[in-house]
Amino acid sequence: MDPVVDTTSGRVRGTTVGSTAVFKGIPYAAAPFGDLRFAAPAPAPAWEGVRPATEFGPTAPKAPYVPPLDRLLHEPSIPGEEILNLNVWTPDLSASLPVLVWIHGGAFEHGSSAVALYDGASFARDGVVFVSVNYRLGAEGFALLDDAPADRGLLDQVAALEWIRDNIAAFGGNSDLVTIAGESAGAMSVVSLMAMPRARGLFRRAIAQSGAGHSVMTAATARKVAAALGETLGVAPTRTAFADIDPKELVDAQELLIARIRSGSDASVWGEITTDAMVFEPSADGNVLPARPIDLLGQGAGSDVDLLIGYNRDEMTLFFVPFGIDRALDDDAARRLAAAYGLTDPAAFDAYRRVGCDASPGQTAMHILRDWMYRIPAVRLAEARAARAAESYIYRFDWQSPVFDGRLGATHALDIGFVFDNLHLPQAAALAGSEPPQELARHMHRAWVSFVTTGSPGWPSYGDKRAEMHFGNTCETVDDDEAELRRLWDGIR
């Protein structure tokens, strides 16, 4: 018999898959269109009778990934306006189990909860109620407009967490044992939520995979982006004007703007976009997000939240190798790229090359950019929290994919299939190849379940010894790995 659950908006009917009850496409807020476009999320309207919750709900308006990334990253698009929806996998409707809430990545432009690898069955199998959420993307979610609330995509995530607080008990979850988790932009969202006053008390633990607390815009940069988007559309950068634009036309315009900024970004004009490459991302508006998350957490925000944070050994290959950029960079170009990210001393570039055993210029540049974008922000966050006796656990994912003749290595997003223990799904092969190691997936998934359940993933927290768990062909704890390279960033990042 199909499971039926009462929510604050009405009854929903899911499906049973094995021993797991699955509910998909449940609205946690009203459709953000019409009068609610570019507004803060509003409560989901009530419905009569029993609503089917058997299919993924609509996804946020977005463009597809560009080739060849479209062959590597699964990107479903589902039409409809009720895009603020979530999905639940639960093993026991009558229990009071820990809850894991997944916030998808995609550079705040792409992604959805309908990505195949985000299937939560393995977490439910292991005693965790799993929830995945959609939120507004691109300009709909993050364009900073004077007559609209800032960071609407983050406010959507808060609304989803409030829905979970009020409803998850009916699905067998314990609202006092909520862990939020995400990868890439999802991880940046997680750390932003840790810093946001409006999210305080809505979760107890947090997991940030390949993203930390540095990747936000100043309000000044965000307003320049909104003004440029308005110029592209031929309208004023206001909520009223943008709300009159068809969502697809808005996405097309934002893609044109993104391409223009990325093709010739000037640091004097576009500030932080020239390095983090995200044209639409959270902005520190002084209200929704009062300041950069790394700064707020350094002041004590989120100190009551346990944190698991990490990065992949070869993060940047996903953005270089499929396009051939790694092989196109010569020594001069690679050194200029390193200098643009703050490593202006030629000796620093040489230090990275030595660690890479006389790596090619492209490989050296990717190592430097990995540290700037992912590793050093994770370390700084753990350092800031350690100073306030807040528990943080760091990991590094090391297993190397055979894809692109092994040049992808332990690339960005490769860890997801392992964490979810979903390597059996066909979509996992795009990044992981045909024979990824199931034992590593078992090990990583077990660590995530342990953290969600107990607050500890099974290795020492980050402190004086700077312990990191390295997940690869062997799994071991390493103290202060690549210390020489870490010190190169002191005073820079």
pLDDT digit string, tens, across residues 372-412: 999 999 999 999 999 999 999 999 999 999 999 999 999 99
In the predicted structure, residue 26 carries a pLDDT above the cut 80: yes
Domain finish residue from 304, 337, 365: 304
Whether residue 345 is contained in a domain is answered as yes
Q: What is the pLDDT of residue 266?
A: 75
Whether residue 225 is contained in a domain is answered as no
The tens digit of pLDDT for each residue in 54-74 reads 999 999 999 999 999 999 999
Q: How confident is residue 358, by pLDDT bands cut at 50, 70 and 90?
A: confident
Q: What is the pLDDT of residue 401?
A: 98
458 and 387: one domain?
yes
Q: What is the pLDDT of residue 150?
A: 98
201 and 348: one domain?
no
299 and 378: one domain?
no
Domain count within the chain? 2
Q: What percent of the chain has pLDDT over 70?
A: 100
Strand order in the sheet with 467-471: 15-17, 20-27, 85-90, 129-133, 97-103, 173-183, 205-209, 306-312, 392-397, 467-471, 475-479
State the DSSP code for 409.
B
Helix (H) or strand (E) holding 311: strand 306-312
State the DSSP code for 44.
P
Whether residue 370 is contained in a domain is answered as yes
In three-state secondary structure terms, 3 is coil
199 and 318: one domain?
no
Q: What is the pLDDT of residue 61?
A: 98
In the predicted structure, residue 264 carries a pLDDT above the cut 90: no
What is the overall mean pLDDT for the chain? Answer: 97
In the predicted structure, residue 9 carries a pLDDT above the cut 90: yes
Instruction: List all residues 6 or more positions away from 345 whose beta carbon is below 8 Å from its beta carbon.
Output: none
- Domain of residue 204 covers 4-218+281-304
299 and 443: one domain?
no
Whether residue 255 is contained in a domain is answered as no
Q: How confident is residue 351, by pLDDT bands cut at 50, 70 and 90?
A: very high
In the predicted structure, residue 125 carries a pLDDT above the cut 80: yes
Euclidean distance between CA atoms 385 and 397, whole angstroms: 22
Please confirm, yes or no, whether 412 is among the known catalytic residues.
yes
Whether residue 258 is contained in a domain is answered as no
Instruction: Centre a 10 Å sphere on the Cβ of residue 449 and count the other Cβ atoms it contains.
Output: 21
Whether residue 251 is contained in a domain is answered as no
Catalytic residue among 9, 113, 122, 184: 184
Can you read off the two tokens belonging to residue 327?
């092989």
Q: What is the pLDDT of residue 268?
A: 81
Please confirm, yes or no, whether 255 is among the known catalytic residues.
no
Q: What is the pLDDT of residue 267?
A: 75
The tens digit of pLDDT for each residue in 148-159 reads 999 999 999 999
Q: Are the beta carbons of 130 and 102 closer than 8 angstroms?
A: yes
292 and 353: one domain?
no
298 and 192: one domain?
yes
Length of the chain: 493
HSE (side-chain half, CA atoms, 13 Å) at 326:
21
The tens digit of pLDDT for each residue in 271-323 reads 999 999 999 999 999 999 999 999 999 999 999 999 999 999 999 999 999 99
206 and 76: one domain?
yes
In the predicted structure, residue 30 carries a pLDDT above the cut 80: yes
Catalytic residue among 367, 412, 445, 470: 412
Domain finish residue from 238, 272, 304: 304
Can you read off the two tokens belonging to residue 218?
């100043």
The tens digit of pLDDT for each residue in 197-234 reads 999 999 999 999 999 999 999 999 999 999 999 999 99
Please confirm, yes or no, whether 110 is among the known catalytic residues.
no
Q: How confident is residue 1, by pLDDT bands cut at 50, 70 and 90?
A: confident
By DSSP bridging, strand 20-27 and strand 4-6 are: unpaired
297 and 321: one domain?
no
The tens digit of pLDDT for each residue in 403-414 reads 999 999 999 999
By DSSP bridging, strand 50-52 and strand 11-13 are: parallel
- Phi, psi values for residue 346, rounded to 5°: -55, -30
Whether residue 235 is contained in a domain is answered as no
- As a whole number, mean pLDDT of residues 262-278 equals 87
128 and 29: one domain?
yes
Q: What single string gives the DSSP state of each residue in 56-103? A: --PPPS-PPPPTTGGGTS------SS--SEEEEEES-TTS-EEEEEEE
297 and 344: one domain?
no
Euclidean distance between CA atoms 250 and 201, whole angstroms: 35
The tens digit of pLDDT for each residue in 416-457 reads 999 999 999 999 999 999 999 999 999 999 999 999 999 999
Helix/strand/coil percentages in the chain, nearest 5:
40, 15, 45
Whether residue 237 is contained in a domain is answered as no
Enumerate the β-bridge partners of residue 112. Answer: none
In three-state secondary structure terms, 202 is coil
Domain containing residue 409: CATH number:
3.40.50.1820
Catalytic residue among 75, 183, 281, 315: 315
296 and 382: one domain?
no
